[in-house]
Amino acid sequence: MKEVSVLIGGKAGDGISNAGALIAQMLNHLGYYVYQYNDYPSLIRGGHTFAVIRAADRQVSVHQDRVDFLLALDKRTVDQHHDASPACTMIVNVDLVRSSHDGQGISLYAILAAEQAPAIMGNSAVIGAFAKAAGIPWETVAGVFHSHMPKGLEENLRVARRAYDQVQTVRAIEPLDRTARPLLTGNEAISLGLVRAGLSAYVSYPMTPSSGILHFLAEHADRLGLTVIHPENEIAVMLMALGFSYAGRRVAVGTSGGGFCLMTEGLSLAGMAELPIVIVVSQRTGPSTGLPTYTGQADLRFVLHAGQGEFPRFVVAPADANQAYYWSAVAMNLAWKYQIPTFILADKTLSEGQYSLDPENIAAVVAEKPHLWDRTMPYSRYRDMPEGISPLAFPGEKDAIVKVNSYAHDEAGITTEDAGMVSLMAKKRMSKWIGLSFALMDYPAVYVGGKTDAPTALLCWGSVRGACEEVAVALGLRLVQPVVLRPFPAAQMTGAFTGVTRIITVEENADGQLATLAREHGIEAHGDILKYDGRPFTPSELLVRVEEVMAR
Amino acid sequence: MTRTLVTDAGNTWCPGCGNFTIQHALKAVLAEMEAAGKSLDEIVLVSGIGCHAKIADYTNINSFYALHGRAIPVATGIKLANPRLTVICCVGDGDAYAEGLDHLIFAAKRNIDITLVVHDNRVYGLTTGQYTPTSPLGFHGKSTPQGTTEYPINPMELMLASGATYVARGYTKKMALLQQLIAGGIAHKGFAFIDVLQVCATFFNQTAQYNRQVYELAGHDPTSFEAACVKAREWDYNSDAPIALGLLYERERQTFNERVPVPVMTQEVREQGIREVLEQHR
């Protein structure tokens, strides 16, 4: 197995995450699978920010604590990260780092002065120096800059070249014989997955860590045929989106926990009015404002139960960009097939992490046509039909009077308090659970990895799967990740646990929310590993904790 | 007329309720529109929650019976999704001025091409009599038995300040004028705001006061913002001052839906777009 990890750190405003993305692309162009983790505080300038780029000859979706290269734009990067990787190769900015650690120094000040370049281009010097230290051919560096440097290309290249020429190759990274793959953040993968299934409008109010979807779709709105709206608040987001849905446009909204709080009255309306909508909730550390730029998995129960009253919903929690790309499209199709709200439950690790996408290994999903009115009977928006699915018509269609209603209503959509009708319509809505649960049997709703016949299983959900799977492989354990969490894929979970005698849950919350959900469905965990400090599990950290639990 | 404009839902408004007048006026406008060649299939009525909102059940056209305070964002979404639709939004004063005030201001700011009819009876009827943002100071309601301790807001002034491009006030005892204002609002390209002083026969019957105070605008220049401000400030929803009825202000400005065109794209072209974006990320 070949792999290499690079950490680049500095102050917010140094362009660390962009520099990390360029390094990720260089490793991508050496033929490696890549994962990039970005760690940054909630501020615009200052603080400590770093990115870890991990490249391997196999898919990876988590970073490691120990790195091979440490690129320090400032002293704090060395102070904070060197101890975890004492044998690493260092490139330091000697203007700010004057410690006695081994490594090669470059003066950003001198390089920038020589090229008369602005301070923000300092990271290009660090990238150039890293490339030389890692034995990456200059052509690869120049090629990546050409493709991925939106402005100031020539100047940045000169800065990078000057640094490239000042250092020696000390730890060459062996190129692999594979072509480069698209690198996508989880937010970008969710976005493109939605478009694959016909997204035509996205409505959102900015909130970390979901804002990347808004920015990405707004940037590509023309090319992808989208209406992208940023309204006054999340209440308007949800209701405006339901207006789009009523009018027949495939629509999604995105937010994080606090914004989703404001969306819940509209969510319940979607449930009652049977309006299709996709809701992306990307979790961060809570409660309340919490840690805006750090991760968490504490909103599972919230999303499963949000909104007054009872109505069917679909909740999927992808682990990486590849699952996100596939399941976001599925979520859109299911929303329209069953005329229900569907959720993509992400977290900061997934949303803002960058992954190698394997489009050829992701199952095809096409934009499926919903059940439309065929004009044989007079139109009734809530006609009682098998599986609870009433044919859709949209306002503007000839001879269809389309009435949707937040009140209890009859088949025509007119308010009613009649006990029989109220009960009939509730049954109609709730019967969608049955069809939806059956439909799930056709999808890979539960992922099983690691040693798939091992008697001890790690049970996890969402982005934590990256670390769990590596630990499972290392310790010979089974790994079970329910990708779909509502409806609970009970049959597939039973199959996944066949022969298992011991289950250990791993979650980034304090309550063990998946553990209690599994218990409701007769799956009893024998130990749990929880983390709620906003930082994602790394495999090395998790390995120690799994061994502790197993030794009990 | 190709269809009856009233559904067979049983009407539960109180006898003497001003909502009847608003519905009659709206029906008359719809009939006129149909006679002029507009298909009723292309009209959508969006309502909030409250006595007024039953108009969605009673009127036999496309409707979205939304949430309290949330009719405006729904109407905005519908218009953006399909600008060919004529979107009429009926809301109460609690909807527009309390629960959904942010949406009201943004609708005016954006100049979204919808028509907003505020059934402003200045009392919460369906919840059996509490004060609203336009109730006069000292209003005795079930939540304020000693009388309210806050002044009403003046929605006309608020809408002028927020950028509304059609600002009018009607009164449910002046049906012909009301009909004219609604028709004018629908014909207006942009955000049309009509505050309708509506009599609540049960909880706040202001008929006598209104009849004493109201007058129909004559010789007023609705293109003058300054003149509109003077008329808007003449009565502050609290005093015994004269109440101007009619069109206070109208101007042309590009609409939100014109600035946010509907993308016309097949799924095949979208998929080509996805491939291009993926290639950029390689």
pLDDT tens digits for range A421-451: 999 999 999 999 999 999 999 999 999 999 9
**Residues of chain B contacting A357 with CB distance shorter than 8 Å:** 278, 281
Peptide bond into A391 cis (omega under 30): no
Q: Are A414 and B7 in contact (CB under 8 A)?
A: yes
Helix (H) or strand (E) holding A479: strand A478-482
Tell me the three state secondary structure of residue A68: coil
pLDDT at A551: 94
State the nearest Cα–Cα gap between A414 and chain B, in angstroms. Answer: 5
Task: Answer whether residue A331 shows pLDDT above 70.
Answer: yes
Q: Using CB atoms, which residue from B41, B102, B273 is nearest to A233?
A: B102
Judge: B76–A243 Cβ closer than 8 Å, yes or no. yes
Beta carbons of B80 and A244 less than 8 Å apart:
yes
H helices, E strands: number in chain A: 20, 21
User: Residues near B222 by Cβ (< 8 Å), separated by ≥ 6?
Assistant: B228, B247, B248, B249, B250
CB B106 within 8 A of CB B80: no
Percent of residues, chain B, with pLDDT higher than 70: 99
The Cα–Cα gap between A49 and A56 comes to 23
Q: Does the distance separating the beta carbons of A243 and B81 come in below 8 Å?
A: yes
C-alpha A432/C-alpha B165 separation (Å) is 45
Chain A residue nearest residue B102, CA to CA: A232
State the pLDDT at residue B1.
46
Residues 6+ away with beta carbon under 8 Å from A116: none
Please report the pLDDT score of residue B2 as a whole number: 64
Give a three-class secondary structure readout of B194-255. EEEECCECCCECCHHHHHHHEEECCCCCCCCHHHHHHHHHHCCCCCCCCEEEEEEEECCCCC
Whether residues B263 and A406 touch (CB distance < 8 A) is answered with: no
H or E stretch covering A466: helix A465-475
Give the side-chain half-sphere CA count within 13 A for B15: 0
- Please enumerate in sequence order all residues whose Cβ is within 8 A of that of A47, keeping only pairs 6 or more positions apart, or say none: A11, A12, A40, A41
Q: Side chain identity at B209, as an amino acid letter?
A: Q
* DSSP secondary structure code for residue B144 in this structure: B
Q: Which tokens belong to B36? A: 């002029």
Q: b/e per residue, A16-32, with b = 16+ CB within 10 A?
A: bbbbbbbbbbbbbbbbb
E-assigned strands of A269-408? 277-283, 314-316, 341-347, 354-356, 403-405
Q: Cα(A194)–Cα(A207) distance, rounded to whole angstroms? A: 19
Tell me how crowded residue A162 is: count the other CB atoms within 10 A of its CB: 20
What is the C-alpha to C-alpha distance for residues B196 and B168, in angstroms, rounded to an integer? 8
Structure token digits, residue B112: 């979204």
Chain A residue with CA closest to B261: the answer is A227
Chain B nearest-CA residue for A398: B41
Map residue A478 onto helix, strand or coil: strand
* CB proximity under 8 Å: B 203-262 to A: 260, 262
Single-letter amino acid code for the residue at A449: G
Question: pLDDT exceeding 70 applies to what percent of chain A?
Answer: 100
For residue A253, the one-letter residue type is V
Q: What is the pTM of this model?
A: 0.97
What is the helix (H) or strand (E) element at residue A47, kind and residue range? strand A46-56
- Whether residues B64 and A404 touch (CB distance < 8 A) is answered with yes
Determine the Cα–Cα distance for residues A371 and A17; give it in Å rounded to an integer.
44
Whether omega for the bond prior to residue A370 falls within 30 degrees of 0, making it cis, is: no
Q: Can you give the pLDDT at residue B7?
A: 96
Residues 25-84 of B with CB under 8 A from A: 39, 41-42, 44, 46, 49, 54, 56-57, 60-67, 70, 73-82, 84
Cβ distance of B103 and A182 shorter than 8 Å: no
Contact assignment for A249 to B81 by CB distance below 8 Å: yes
- Model confidence over A162-179: pLDDT tens digits? 999 999 999 999 999 999
Token readout for A261 is 């709080």
DSSP strands (E only) in A169-276? 183-185, 201-204, 227-229, 251-255
Interface probe for B, chosen from A144, A222, A246 (most Cβ of B below 10 Å), is A246
pLDDT of residue A42: 86
What separation, in Å, do the N-terminal and C-terminal C-alpha atoms of chain A show? 32
C-alpha span between A11 and A47 (Å, rounded)? 5
Whether A350 contacts A296, CB under 8 Å: no
Of all residues in chain A, what percent carry a pLDDT higher than 90? 96
Q: A548 Cβ partners below 8 Å, 6+ apart?
A: none
pLDDT for the residue A100 = 65
**Chain A residues with CB-CB distance to B277 below 8 A:** 192, 220, 223-224
At residue A495, the pLDDT reads: 97
- 């959508």: which residue's tokens? B44
- Banded pLDDT at B199 (limits 50, 70, 90): very high
CB contact (8 A) between residue A183 and residue B282: yes
Task: Write down all domains in chain A, each with its CATH number in brackets.
Answer: 3-164 (3.40.920.10), 183-361 (3.40.50.970), 446-551 (3.40.50.920)
Q: Which two tokens stand for residue B213?
A: 């105070």
Determine whether A218 is exposed, middle or buried from the number of CB atoms within 10 Å of its CB (0-12, 13-18, 19+): middle
User: How far is residue A398 CA from its own chain's centroid?
Assistant: 41
Closest chain A residue by Cα to residue B2 = A399
Measure B107 CA to nearest chain A CA, in Å.
Answer: 10
| pLDDT score recorded for residue A12 | 87
- Element (H or E) spanning A125, and its range? helix A122-133
Residue A359 has pLDDT above 90, yes or no: no
Helices (H), A274-354: 300-305, 321-338, 348-352
Q: Which residues of A410-445 are buried (b: 16+ CB within 10 A; e: fewer)?
A: bbbbbbbeeeebeebbeebbebbbebbbebbeebbb
The residues facing A23 across adjacent strands are none
Cβ of B273 and A227 within 8 Å? no
Whether B270 and A195 lie within 8 Å, measured CB to CB: yes
A271: left (phi over 0), alpha (psi -120 to 50) or beta: alpha
Alpha helices in chain B (DSSP H): 18-35, 55-58, 71-81, 93-94, 101-110, 155-162, 175-187, 207-213, 225-234, 256-259, 267-280
Average pLDDT, chain A: 96
Domain definitions of chain B by residue range: 18-280
pLDDT at A13: 87
Kindly state the tokens that stand for A212: 């990347």
Cβ–Cβ gap B73/A240 under 8 Å: yes
* CATH code of the region B18-280: 3.40.50.970
Which chain B residues are Cβ-neighbours of A182 within 8 angstroms? 278-279, 281-282
Shortest Cα–Cα distance, B139 to chain A (Å) = 30
Would you call B270 and A227 a contact, using CB atoms and an 8 Å cutoff? no
Is A395–B42 a contact, with Cβ atoms under 8 angstroms apart? yes
Strand partners, A69: A6, A89
Phi/psi-derived region of residue A174, left when phi > 0, alpha when psi is between -120 and 50, beta in every other case: beta
- Backbone angles phi and psi of A373, in degrees to 5: -60, 130
A425: Cα separation from own chain's centroid: 36
β-strand pairing of B43-47 with B62-65: parallel
